[in-house]
Each structure stands twice: as structure tokens, then as C-alpha cells.
Homo-oligomer: A and B are copies of this chain.
Amino acid sequence: MKRTVFFISDGTGITAEALGHSLLTQFEHIKFEHITIPYVNSEEKATAAIQHIQEIAVRDGERPLVFATLINPQIRQLISQSNCLLLDFFNTFIGPIESELHTKSSHRVGRTHAMTDHGSYTTRIDAVNYALANDDGITTKNYDKADLILIGVSRSGKTPTCLYLALQFGLFTANYPLTEDDLLHHLLPASLKQHRAKLFGLTIDPKRLHAIRTERRPNSTYAALQQCQLEIQRAEALFLAERIPSINSTTRSIEEIATTILATTGVKRRLF
């Protein structure tokens, strides 16, 4: 069984895709074809979208599902007349919120993922540049500016997590790979010790680490299962001894790691 799903928005469509996809994961046995139409911000584009919906309805012999975040009431009205099940993420909730707040919404389009101010744009770019400049222990000199410093053995997931925290949350996150030396001596290097409150540990299942490292450097000591086990064991002992909060990245997505770090540390995201 296959159904077609449209994500239609007068903005990027990212929110419609996120919630729509989240709902569709609850119907595992159905195959969905996705079509995203962003920036539907004129009658002309709405008419083109409707035509696309009608064509798919004829092709499938079933009306498509349409997940929409449409702020403009005229555009929404047009789309609602097409042959589809319209699930309107915006309009469904804006009414109850207006009642609760005793005020009307501004109905201004494109405020969600748009660049509403230069400040938040700059924060984000600065955060990405910070993550890149302070990746993998390249330097330990800028830790004063860090919101968080991720530590863990090589290939435990530090870099993607830092980049995610920068791009999605505007956080300044450095990362430092625990070296053989750090691990052997069961000691935090001095550069980290003075920023203890910012440290967060990443750990990983040794077998998974072995697989990841093998892909990178097959048959190396670096990738050997025994080496992976030893490093992980020592890193986890260090986290425990120094009371550094940590998370196992093995079965977690980057979003789960990032949100768990925020929930654990109380660090607040700078961007939405």
C-alpha cells in the first residue's frame, strides 16, 4: 500500500516536514511518497500546487495527504478546495492560542525559519565557525567562550554533535579527543580541568567503535577491538572519577544526544 504525502508551506516547509514525518512514522506498514512544495506565497503558486495535488490524486486513485503550514488565509482556502486530506498545522492551533492570549495573531508569512534578525544569524554562523575552529582539540585556548566542551575517545560522535549544537541551537561547543596519555594517567589535562563545569562526556559501545574505526583504518591498532575496549573503559572510568556527565552515543541519534546534553546540563539553546 502506497500513499502520497505533500508538505506545503508559505515558508521553507521544514516544520511541516518535521511534524508530518513524525506522524507518518506511526504507520510503518504504509509506504509514503513525499513531495515538498515550499514558498507557496502567491495565488499562482497555490494554483500550481493544487494542480500537482489533483494529478497525484488521479494517478494514485486515492487523494493525497497534505500537511500544511500556511499562514495566509487566502492561500489556505485555495489549497483546502483541492482533492486531499488537508492537515493544517498552523490554522488548527492559531485560534485557540488567540483566544487564550486575548489577541489576534499577526498573520505575517515567513517568520519561522526566516532570517528575522541579523543577530541570530550571526550567532549561528559564529557558533559554526567556533565549532570548526575548536574541533578535535585543534586548540584549547578558546574554552572561555565555550558553552560546552565535549570529550571522548576518537570517533565517539563528538564532531557531528558539536556541529548540530551550533547550527540548530546556536551554542558554542568545542570538542577534545581524550588521548592515550590522558587515558593512561586517568587525569584530565589542565586545559580541561579549569573548565570542568562545561565538560560533557561521550561514550560508545566498543564493538560499534571498532566497526567505525575499521572502516576508517582497517587492520590498524587504532581500530582493534581490544584497543577500543581499553580506551572506552578508561574514558568511562575518568568520567566517573571526575564526575563528568556522559551519554552513550551508540543507539542514539544526534538530536537525542544534543537534547539530552541540554536537559542534563541546563544549558539553554540560543536559537529556535
What residues of chain A have their CB less than 8 Å away from a CB belonging to chain B? 3, 11-15, 17-19, 21-23, 25-30, 34, 36-39, 65, 69, 71, 85, 87, 89-90, 92-94, 96-97, 100-101, 103, 105-108, 111-116, 121, 124-125, 128, 132, 157, 159-160, 163-164, 167, 251-256, 258-260, 262-263, 272
Nearest chain B CB to A107's CB is how many angstroms away?
7
Nearest chain B CB to A48's CB is how many angstroms away?
12
**Copies of this chain per assembly:** 2
A27: which B residues are within 8 A, CB to CB?
97, 101, 103, 105-106
A65-B100, A101-B3 known; A108 vs B253 contact (CB < 8 Å) = no
- Given A19-B69, A132-B159, 13 more pairs with CB closer than 8 A: A14-B255, A15-B19, A19-B89, A36-B259, A37-B263, A38-B259, A39-B259, A85-B100, A92-B93, A113-B253, A113-B256, A163-B167, A164-B167
| Minimal Cβ-Cβ distance residue in B for A112 | B22
A38-B259, A87-B93, A272-B21 known; A115 vs B26 contact (CB < 8 Å) = no
Give complex CA distance A125, B249 in Å: 13
A259: which B residues are within 8 A, CB to CB?
12-14, 36, 38-39, 113
A167: which B residues are within 8 A, CB to CB?
160, 163-164, 167, 254
| Minimal Cβ-Cβ distance residue in B for A108 | B26
Does the CB pair B38–A94 fall under 8 Å? no
The 10 A-B residue pairs with the shortest CB-CB distance in the complex, in nearest-first order? A26-B105, A113-B255, A25-B111, A22-B112, A21-B272, A12-B259, A115-B253, A128-B160, A85-B100, A12-B255
A28: which B residues are within 8 A, CB to CB?
106
Does the CB pair B112–A25 fall under 8 Å? yes
| Minimal Cβ-Cβ distance residue in B for A111 | B25
| Minimal Cβ-Cβ distance residue in B for A102 | B1
Give complex CA distance A128, B165 in Å: 14
Best-buried of A39, A97, A121 by chain B (most CB within 10 Å): A97
Does the CB pair B85–A26 fall under 8 Å? no
Give complex CA distance A251, B115 in Å: 6
Give complex CA distance A262, B14 in Å: 12
Nearest chain B CB to A96's CB is how many angstroms away?
7
